[in-house]
A = this chain, B = another copy of it.
Amino acid sequence: MEQHQDDSKIKNNLSNIKHKIIVLSGKGGVGKSTVSANLALSLSEKGYNVGLLDGDLHGPSIPKILGIEDKRPGAAETGIAPVLASPKLKVMSMAFLIQDKDSPVIWRGPLKMGALRQFIGDVSWGDLDYLIIDLPPGTGDEPLSIAQLIPDSDGAVVVTTPQDVALVSVRKSINFVKKMNMPVIGIIENMSGFKCPHCNKAIDIFKTGGGKKASMDFKIPFLGDIPIDPEIVKTGDSGEGFTKNNEKSDAAKSFEKIVVNIEKIVNEKKVK
């Protein structure tokens, strides 16, 4: 483990955050950032003070999903002031720091560790009920850095899609989380099943049930499944939250159940 003089600063900066939840996935494109953004939104709409840290330095998509791409962080007395997506939702992302949004962030590991350290230690998160940390996919530098920088998180939410190829990666993720001694909060199966909007028949695009199977194999909680819904894509592109604009859809209902499950698990853990 790397040690650093800033470690006590980070600890101090995060000292008023009740729950820290890390969202990760073995492979990209499973909807991890969409899940993170809507999880943070849902919790803030329930009245919690929420922070959302976009840990994907190369492909930061949280600001786009939340419709706050053009905002910039400010200066606070105690550090960098995060962007407010709503009065109760603070967001920090590499996307806010790039001048030209088409420019790639071409950084190797050590530089990335430095940036994540700043996001955690120098951003004035203040008093939060929840800090959601959206990690880039895989088990490389960024997840490793976050695991080392935030050793006392409530644990990890692992997002997957149901097909076998994705599940190979989710199993790696779970083992990664265990090796880091991070608790696992549970698994979410995204893009799970699809109904044709015209004829209402079920279409098996990515299969279903693989996430549930992985949760049983590893004996970890299954938080719920979210069906494919073109509205999720649209609201992700337009920057509106999905759940609040589509309350009656199957996807929104599944998502609300997932949020309740996560609340329950992390609150039970903290009581112990």
Contacts and interface: CB of A to CB of B under 8 A. Distances in A.
A257 interface: no
B29 A163 contact: no
A230 B201 contact: no
Contacts of A164: 64, 237
Q: Contact residue range for chain A?
A: 35 or more
Given A172-B58, A230-B203, A237-B165, A105 B139 contact: yes
Query: From DSSP, what is the main secondary structure of chain A's interface residues?
Result: loop
Contact of A104 (B102, B103, B139, B197): B139
Contacts of A207: 233, 237
Contacts of A228: 205
A143 B173 CA distance: 22
Contact of A206 (B138, B144, B233): B233
B205 A201 contact: no
A196 B168 CA distance: 28
Contacts of A176: 104, 106
Given A108-B109, A140-B108, A169-B61, A198 B197 contact: no
Contact of A138 (B58, B64, B204): B58
Nearest to A98: B172
20 contacts: A29-B30, A33-B165, A58-B140, A59-B138, A61-B168, A64-B164, A102-B175, A104-B139, A105-B172, A106-B179, A108-B141, A108-B144, A109-B110, A109-B141, A163-B237, A198-B203, A205-B228, A205-B233, A206-B233, A207-B237
The 4 closest A-B pairs by CB, nearest first: A29-B29, A28-B28, A109-B109, A58-B138
